[in-house]
Structure 1
Amino acid sequence: MLVLMTGKWIDMKKGILFSVLLVLGICITVLLNKDSENEMTITPVTDTSDQTILTFWRNYGNVAENQAFELMIASFERAHPNIDIEMNAIQYGDYEMKLRTEIATGKPPDLMLIDSPNLALYARIGVLHPLTDDVMEERLDKDLPPALLEGVSYQDEVYLMPLVQPGAALYYNRHLFREAGIPFPSKNPHEPMTWNEVLEAARKITDPEKGVVGIDPAQGFPGGEAPSYFKSPIIWQFGGELLSPDGSTANGYLNSPESIEALTFYKDLYHRHDVAEVQLPPRAFENGKIGMTVYGSWELSRLRETDPEFKIGEDFDIAPLPKGIEQVAPNGGWSMGISSNTQYPDEAWTFISYMTDYEAMRIYVDQTGEPPARQSIVQSFPEFLEYPENIFLTQSQIYSKSRPVTPAYPFLSDAVKTLFEEIVIENAEVKEAADRAVSKIDSGIQEQNKYTNDIYLFPQ
């Protein structure tokens, strides 16, 4: 007779002997340790009968972010030994679909990261546990910048808790500015360049013979959520909007005169002024092929890691995002939520509260350089009050705006992405492309209004 032990087949006698030894080992419930006086001490085995296991899903980030989460969870588990966190980090491109599949099959994780614009999709069908009472009890509603709090709320309920205050800024190459005889932009977060000043600088920097481009105005043309995050501010900066205040329509907003002016200016950077290019070489900014680019706050840590010789203050610097008639920066990002299906809402909130408090945020800041979401916590890190981090923090606290929280947001995000691609890559007429985007968004709103409980309608 055979038994399977540790992947190998052994005979029954050896199996019995192994089992006896295993039972004897389990029965030994003391550990013998010599103290300083060479006496024997007894350490009882830890009782794990009340152990709580929480599943936590998040999108797989960059190296610094991934390391931060590992260290933060280890810190939490030391502080709360009766709670174990099982983290599942999923590639960005697969995350939303896998999460929605688990929700649709009734097996969501206890905790999850959600990109705040998608909040309404989940909140409306009741898959998120409201956090309003917990947030109010700990007075966190007073500890978040207003725009950030608005971005994690839906229909007067708070559903998500942000970890950090992400942002974007204008990164510029000091060498190219100096060679073109252009004064460096102000480092004062309240004094951005105007878009017209940016255009003039881009004209002087652009050198086709050397392959130097004046500006990449909004992260090129990637997939995913990046186009909406980086390009929506251009519309806001010119006084336009994406959606009506009540979220019922994009007509009269995304195709308003102000929005058309913003879109036209953006298109002209490529087709009229020839200071921007659709195709850019890899690492174009670090290699001196772009004078200005718009990057997220997280790019500072990436640049330090991937190209430590390309240094801020020597090779590049940052300035606040350009303004049109208004100074506006994007806000909102990945925030923590609790499943309405969890059996452990109190323990889940304990985890969220810890992850956004000082001890865990100290780890996150050390790893990523990102400013904490809670204003009382960020004040504990004086570096965020100084350049360059103060650029992102000031924009987030004073000049930021969140993308619309609406169940139809995926339709809106895809329409914005397509709109910018059409007017630049396809050289489409701006007003016609804007009207098509409006039609797509309004159709999505109508579709979402027909259904209130279906997960499968969430578009990719």
Structure 2
Amino acid sequence: MSKAFKVAVAVATVGALLGLAGCAKGGSSSNSDGSVTLWTHNAGNPDELKAVNQVVDSFNQSQSKVKVKVQAFPQDSYNQSVTAAAASKKLPCIMDIDGPNVPNWAWAGYLAPISGMDDTLSKFLPSTVGKFKDKIYSFGLYDVSLVMIARKSVLDENGIRVPTIQQPWTAAEYEAALAKLKASGKFEQAGDLGTGQTGEWWPYAYSPFLQSFGGDLINRSDYKTADGALNGPAAVAWANWFHGLVAKGYVSAKSGADPVADFVNGKTGIVYSGSWAAQPARDKFGDDALFLPSVDLGKGPKVGGASWQWGMSKSCSNPDGAAAFLKYLASDDNIALMAKATKTIPTTEAAAAKVPGYAAGGGNDIFRQYSKNYAVLRPVTPGYPFIATTFGKAAQDIINGADPKQTLDQAVKDIDANQKQNNYFQ
């Protein structure tokens, strides 16, 4: 998993997230000096941590009623730290949360609803506002978008149409493009879907393909069953297509550890990656680098939505102070600051105008348009961490040749059992 990809995905800790339900209720997150503690996952990401500290310092200097103190954790251990703190009733007042985990943390009692910010958050990209049961629990200052990256010269040389947001590639066009690139003999692999990556990348990257076919990870009407969504005709068609790309020799069942580097080094014709890959591609290829919409597999292109977001713990002993910081954090200037530091998509149009390339018509504006038009949230249910790992395993089995229907049926049984066991997270 690339370092840049970490801003896009959850790190699902299934046992901890599902097993500590309700442990955060009660307790106190007060400090003896009356300050408010903020936890972030950015200990290993100096650019974003620097931006967080800059916002905190600015807030602290802007008023004298509350002082925010930052504590940073490595991302790999962050979720475990939160669940352990919840169990011992020592959650901080302010936390960052990976978007897909928000429903689980809200259901478990970790988070308090955010109020008084509806007007501000109405200007945010929908994928950056975390909700559960019609209440807002978090918001993010940025998002990212999946894209197909290619070179214009390579597409032109092989007679491949350059897709647009108005007319993306169809499944047939995408496969035809891969066939031409394979036949050219100039690439180690015609396409790279990033199948060598692990963890949350699998549901983040490949459930949008499933959704573009018309399937889904679970029925979203009531989040009680995955039957029909994950094992119906559309889902089976997705599975056959997914494995078929490998069977036809267009992509590898396990690609290299750094797909963007492989593309930049000329090993790959078309790489499926994200907006975080724009800079290295441009550094190598300049204007020849193209950042194309994902493939329309029948129901329009889809990309995963929601990245890291901010919320307030339910046990915070100074909710007014925490709320004041959150309102300060959500300003367009702070959004722009964070987007610059993380090289991500600013969540408001006003902030985008402050970030080079993201203003309307800028070179990076296309990523914001993809996010705005194509983003699908991962299932808004506390059961998502289990759904994510279950789908990830099924997808890996399928791409390696397992029977699609049998594999998906088993995934449905497992997901349904988990939802039922937890009383559908009521």
Report the counterpart of residue 48 of structure 2 in structure 1: 65
Pair 63,339 (structure 1): closer, same or farther in 2 beyond 3 Å: same
Report the counterpart of residue 403 of structure 1 in structure 2: 378
Report the counterpart of residue 420 of structure 2 in structure 1: 446
Q: 1-side partners of 2:185 and 2:293: how far apart?
A: 30
Q: Which residue identity lines up with residue 135 of structure 1 in the other structure?
A: M
Quote the offset at 1:376 in angstroms.
Answer: 4.3
Report the counterpart of residue 208 of structure 2 in structure 1: 233
CA deviation vs aligned residue, 1:252-279 (integer Å, no higher than 9, x gap): 11111111111211110001x2100134
Equivalent residue in structure 2 for 1:87, among 70, 90, 95: 70
Pair 359,141 (structure 1): closer, same or farther in 2 beyond 3 Å: closer
Equivalent residue in structure 2 for 1:190, among 159, 166, 188: 166
Equivalent residue in structure 1 for 2:83, among 69, 85, 100: 100
Report the counterpart of residue 391 of structure 2 in structure 1: 416
CA contact (8 A) 2:146 2:294 kept: yes
CA contact (8 A) 2:391 2:411 kept: yes
Q: Which residue identity lines up with residue 116 of structure 2 in the other structure?
A: D
Q: 2-side partners of 1:50 and 1:104: how far apart?
A: 24
Q: 1-side partners of 2:344 and 2:87: how far apart?
A: 33
Report the counterpart of residue 250 of structure 2 in structure 1: 275
Quote the offset at 1:80 in angstroms.
Answer: 3.7
Report the counterpart of residue 3 of structure 2 in structure 1: none
Query: Any stretches of 5+ residues in structure 1 without a counterpart?
Result: 1-48, 453-460
Quote the offset at 1:141 in angstroms.
Answer: 4.2
CA contact (8 A) 2:37 2:71 kept: no
Report the counterpart of residue 331 of structure 1 in structure 2: 305
Quote the offset at 1:157 in angstroms.
Answer: 0.9
Q: Which residue identity lines up with residue 62 of structure 2 in the other structure?
A: A
Equivalent residue in structure 1 for 2:263, among 285, 300, 322: 285
CA contact (8 A) 1:230 1:330 kept: yes
Q: Which residue identity lines up with residue 170 of structure 1 in the other structure?
A: M
Equivalent residue in structure 2 for 1:351, among 309, 317, 325: 325
CA contact (8 A) 2:208 2:304 kept: yes
Quote the offset at 1:442 in angstroms.
Answer: 1.0
**Number of aligned pairs?**
389
Farther off after superposition, 83-92 or 197-206 = 83-92
Report the counterpart of residue 13 of structure 2 in structure 1: none
Equivalent residue in structure 2 for 1:144, among 124, 130, 135: 124
For the aligned residue pairs, the C-alpha RMSD in angstroms reads 2.5
CA contact (8 A) 2:212 2:301 kept: yes
Quote the offset at 1:191 in angstroms.
Answer: 2.6
2:337 paired with 1:363:
yes
Alignment of 1:101-116 (within 5 A): 101-116=84-99
Equivalent residue in structure 2 for 1:243, among 210, 214, 218: 218
Pair 69,436 (structure 1): closer, same or farther in 2 beyond 3 Å: same
Query: Any stretches of 5+ residues in structure 2 without a counterpart?
Result: 1-31
Quote the offset at 1:156 in angstroms.
Answer: 1.3
CA deviation vs aligned residue, 1:199-221 (integer Å, no higher than 9, x gap): 1111111269655211123x314
| Corresponding residue SS for 1:86 | strand
**Seq. identity, %:** 24
Quote the offset at 1:379 in angstroms.
Answer: 4.7
| Corresponding residue SS for 1:172 | strand
Q: 1-side partners of 2:218 and 2:82: how far apart?
A: 27
2:107 paired with 1:134:
no
Taking structure 1 as the reference length, the TM-score comes to 0.78
Quote the offset at 1:248 in angstroms.
Answer: 0.3
Quote the offset at 1:89 in angstroms.
Answer: 2.8
Q: Which residue identity lines up with residue 237 of structure 2 in the other structure?
A: E
Pair 198,312 (structure 1): closer, same or farther in 2 beyond 3 Å: farther
Q: Which residue identity lines up with residue 55 of structure 1 in the other structure?
A: L
Pair 447,93 (structure 1): closer, same or farther in 2 beyond 3 Å: farther
CA contact (8 A) 2:42 2:49 kept: no
Q: 1-side partners of 2:140 and 2:357: how far apart?
A: 20
Equivalent residue in structure 2 for 1:393, among 368, 373, 393: 368
Q: 2-side partners of 1:163 and 1:420: how far apart?
A: 31
Quote the offset at 1:403 in angstroms.
Answer: 0.7
Quote the offset at 1:381 in angstroms.
Answer: 4.7
Pair 160,267 (structure 1): closer, same or farther in 2 beyond 3 Å: same
Q: Which residue identity lines up with residue 134 of structure 1 in the other structure?
A: G
CA deviation vs aligned residue, 1:267-318 (integer Å, no higher than 9, x gap): 10001x21001343442111111111222222334x27xxx7414413x220
Quote the offset at 1:439 in angstroms.
Answer: 1.3
Q: After the TM superposition, which segments of 4 or more aligned residues of structure 1 sit over 4 Å from their partners?
A: 59-63, 207-211, 379-382
| Corresponding residue SS for 2:202 | helix
Pair 366,115 (structure 1): closer, same or farther in 2 beyond 3 Å: closer
Q: 2-side partners of 1:120 and 1:451: how far apart?
A: 10
| Corresponding residue SS for 1:159 | strand
Report the counterpart of residue 135 of structure 2 in structure 1: 157
Pair 345,87 (structure 1): closer, same or farther in 2 beyond 3 Å: same
Pair 200,81 (structure 1): closer, same or farther in 2 beyond 3 Å: farther
Q: 1-side partners of 2:297 and 2:65: how far apart?
A: 53
Quote the offset at 1:72 in angstroms.
Answer: 2.9
CA contact (8 A) 1:205 1:212 kept: no
Q: Which residue identity lines up with residue 342 of structure 2 in the other structure?
A: T
